[in-house]
Homo-oligomer: A and B are copies of this chain.
Amino acid sequence: MSAVPKTHRRVVLVRRPPGEPAESDFRVEEVPMPEPRHGEVLVKVAYLSLDPYQRGRMRDAASYAAPVGLGEVMTGGIVGEVVKSENSRFKVGDVVEDRLGWQEYAIGGAPSMRVVDPSLAPISTANGVLGMPGMTAYFGLLEVGQPKTGETIVVSAASGAVGQVVGQIGKIMGCRVVGVAGGTKKCAFVKDELGFDACVDYKAEKDLDKTLLAACPKGIDVYFDNVGGEISDAVLRNINVFGRVALCGSISQYNATTPPTGPRLLGTFVGKRVRAQGFIVTDFAGKYEPAMRQMGEWIKSGKLKYREDVVEGIDKAPRAFIGMLRGENFGKMLVKM
């Protein structure tokens, strides 16, 4: 344990962008080091997780979670080390994970904080494959998508934090897995490194429907949707009878300044008996433990790989976040402190 400095840096939201965020919507500020009170701990953040849902928290709109207030620290998951503890559940030196925001040090100790076992995998995975994105993939695919052996799964944002896990679990389940990603590098990665059966490069393809059908000769049974918009339109036009759609996110729409429009798809769901189901990972919080154990085993046995995209320094967080919303990241987006 290193000495705790007198100040630390954090990123606060200073403006709510109507469309694409700019770096000027955030402010990096240096503030006095907080002191944990009874029941609290002080955490030295090792990694900050940047995730698409955080764009939603920048809006002053009703959602499943409260918005970040102007002048408040941006929300985000972190993994770090307890450096001071006034909470008997945590001791100095524990590696912990919780949603403590974009900052170098943070006060924690809430019931949602969990101790991470650093012997399982590198601690950065507590924000990725063994954290919220991994659990999102696990429960979204298995409990919402409910794939059966031999079926075809399509997952969008396939090389992202969630998508890469979805596809690999799909392969473990004995399914045909087709990713959708932007660019040849990402497509090559999910095919060659992660073992997807095919990947459609949405940036290169003129006729997404045709390319999707070519990659899915038996049609599409399960669609794990991270992106919404035109990519999802193409997938949903080609979904099979009794197809299932796990609605995880719609990153293509997060910066929209007007309510987005598109083809009316619900009418086509009737005859095909398609089921589309929105979910958020915390609905499954009671089942995380066995899922984490399972995922840990898959990692150890080499069945589950992961890729991270790491930038260094809290001041780089806004720029990295804006890039992630554009799809510029390649793998789970993390900020290393």
Contact = CB atoms under 8 A, between A and B. Distances in A.
A249 to B, nearest CB: 6
Given A64-B241, A241-B64, A250 B270 contact: yes
A271 B56 contact: yes
The A contact surface, by secondary structure, is: mixed
Contacts of A280: 270-271, 273
Interface stretch (A9-17, A253-261, A299-307): A253-261
A279 B261 CA distance: 25
Nearest to A271: B64
A292 B261 CA distance: 41
B264 A260 contact: yes
B241 A267 contact: no
A270 B253 contact: no
Given A264-B260, A266-B247, A63 B271 contact: yes
A122 to B, nearest CB: 29
A263 B266 CA distance: 11
B56 A266 contact: no
Given A261-B261, A261-B262, A262-B261, A273 B267 contact: no
A278 interface: yes
Contact of A253 (B253, B264, B278): B264
Contacts of A266: 225, 228, 232, 245, 247, 250, 265, 276, 278
Copies in the complex: 2
Given A262-B264, A264-B228, A278 B274 contact: yes
A207 to B, nearest CB: 16
B279 A278 contact: no
A272 interface: yes
A267 B253 contact: yes
A7 interface: no
Interface in A33-50: none
15 contacts: A64-B271, A64-B273, A228-B264, A232-B266, A247-B267, A259-B263, A260-B263, A260-B264, A261-B263, A266-B276, A272-B278, A273-B277, A273-B278, A274-B278, A275-B276
